[in-house]
Amino acid sequence: MNDLKVCELFCGIGGFRYGLEKASNQFQTVFANELDKWAASIYRHHWNDGSLCEEDIRNVQAQDLPDFDILCGGFPCQPFSSAGKRSEFKDPRGTLIYEIIRLAKEKQPKMLLLENVPGLLNIQKGQTFQTILEELGNLGYICEWKVFNSKFFGVPQSRRRVFIVAYLTTLKHGGGTFFPIGNSNNMGAKPSRGQVCGTLTTGYGNSHGDDTYLIVNYQFGKMRIYADTSPTLTTRLGTAGGKGTMLTTYTADKRLRKLTPLECERLQSFPDHWTKHGLTTTGKQIEISNTQRYKTVGNAVTTSVIAEIGQLILNFFENSHIPNLAHQF
């Protein structure tokens, strides 16, 4: 099988791209779009190959895009999150899913891989999600979806997200489904205690390599202890925002401190210091503030989950049969 060309929308700091490339070098990103300048600069720092477009997605025209096989992205989740007002399509960000559908209609990629919060499934008693499925179905796509929790993919973070895979009906793959059932393909292995401690050992301050950490949610002087699994990272970890909550660690030497950006990167299975630097459009390297590092990594996908799904994508295409397949890859 030849390379699979990828278009990454709402790319942020490149979680989909990094995860897919970790799965295989057969994934080749040919176009990426991100409007936030800090996230875009981090993305460009790692991939300064001209694939990144810093433009409002509503202004991106299909005819200006290269051809691609897979369209992926985590479209804005705030309108669907239980932490927000759940205003879905009343919020302009909620309508951005239609920009994905618009580009899919015009470019007809073989597959879409989308991510969002589980709340997307049940708002308006499922009618919003049903609308999305119908729109994709009308374009000739078969849709599957599954909720995965990051804590079962090698990181100590409880982060539930729904992943939607839509593939063209012309893809014949023996009548099976895309997603495995249960824990097949090694999906779902909870990290060991050793992996947990390894994730949160950063040498911060006077910490020692053998420290054992507790994850703590600190709110108005009260602590909720999560032991060795972090709750879902958010975009506001750098400040005590959101009802005064701050995610912290309680170390073996009885110190209470907030998570560092490095620890948050590890909880999302990015390489260390992934968000530390950015690259401007003029080629100047800049240092990213901690506030923006917390925000951008909190908005990202857990790359180890994407890598596992990437393996499923490879298996899917290898087992698919479509006319003139050799000429389409």
Question: Of 11, 53, 77, 197, which is the active-site residue?
Answer: 77
Amino acid 207: pLDDT: 39
Count CB atoms within 10 A of the CB of residue 114. Answer: 25
CA distances from 185 to 126, 134, 216, 284, 314 (A): 29, 30, 33, 43, 13
pLDDT in tens, 231-271: 677 665 544 344 434 456 655 556 666 778 888 898 899 99
Helix, strand, coil shares of the chain, percent, nearest 5, are 35, 25, 40
- Cα(83)–Cα(101) distance, rounded to whole angstroms? 26
Residues (pLDDT < 50) of the chain are 81-84, 86-89, 91-93, 181-188, 190-213, 218, 220, 238-246, 322-329
CB 27, CB 3: distance < 8 Å = yes
Amino acid 212: pLDDT: 45
Query: Model-level pTM?
Result: 0.81
CB contact set of 13 (below 8 Å; sequence gap of 6+):
39, 42, 43, 270, 274, 275, 296, 297, 299, 300
Is 77 annotated as catalytic? yes
- Cα(210)–Cα(12) distance, rounded to whole angstroms? 33
Lookup: tokens for 276: 């530390």
In the chain, CATH 3.40.50.150 covers 4-187+301-328
Amino acid 209: pLDDT: 41
Fold of the 4-187+301-328 domain: Rossmann fold (3.40.50)
Amino acid 275: pLDDT: 98
Amino acid 250: pLDDT: 58
pLDDT in tens, 165-210: 999 988 765 556 788 644 434 444 544 444 443 444 433 333 344 4
